[in-house]
Amino acid sequence: MFNWLFTTYAGKLICTFFISMVPVIELRGALPIGVGMGLTPVTALIVSILGNMVPVPFIIIFIRRILNWMHRFETFSKIADKLEAKAAKHEDKLVKYETLGLFLLVAVPLPGTGAWTGSLVAALFDLRLKTAIPTIFAGVVAAGLIVFFVTYGVVAIA
């Protein structure tokens, strides 16, 4: 079964899609992995963007409930505190620049940024879905293009 994931075109697409949904790795890791498996850079970019966006609405809708549940247990409470502290670290950007701050948080392809962090911040600061999702999507596309051009350059488009 695992052989199918790495040897067929559909398997490579699915693998790239799911890798882009993983926190921390996200699109930044899925794009080069997809190309490394044999997808064209443009195909890997599109699949990575789509996969990276799948968890976003679920995080925004459910993260508060999950964090509240985590606080009921000592072990999980520490993790919840770290997640909340991570979101609070970006509060000044979000308050000062609003959607532009969220966009920049997601668009800059550095550790600690991305769609997962942007979704967490959006949820904890009560941004509405109709504002947060398009802003995060724009940030994911921007991050994807940055990774694309830094990794493959303009030559990959041709």
Residues 41 and 107 in one domain: no
In which element (H, E) is residue 4 found?
A: helix 2-7
Tokens of 12: 């490579």
Mark the ranges of the chain whose per-residue pLDDT is less than 50.
Answer: none
* 56 neighbors 136 (Cβ within 8 angstroms): yes
Tens digit of each residue's pLDDT (9 = 90 or more) over 87-112: 888 777 777 777 898 999 999 988 88
CA pair distance 20, 53, nearest whole angstrom: 9
Residues 60 and 42 in one domain: no
Residues 41 and 111 in one domain: no
The pair phi, psi for residue 25, each rounded to 5°, is -70, -55
Residues 66 and 136 in one domain: yes
Calculate the CA 95 to chain-centre distance. Answer: 21
Residues 131 and 119 in one domain: yes
The pLDDT assigned to 86 comes to 81
Domain of residue 32, residue span: 2-53+148-157
- How many residues are there in the chain? 158
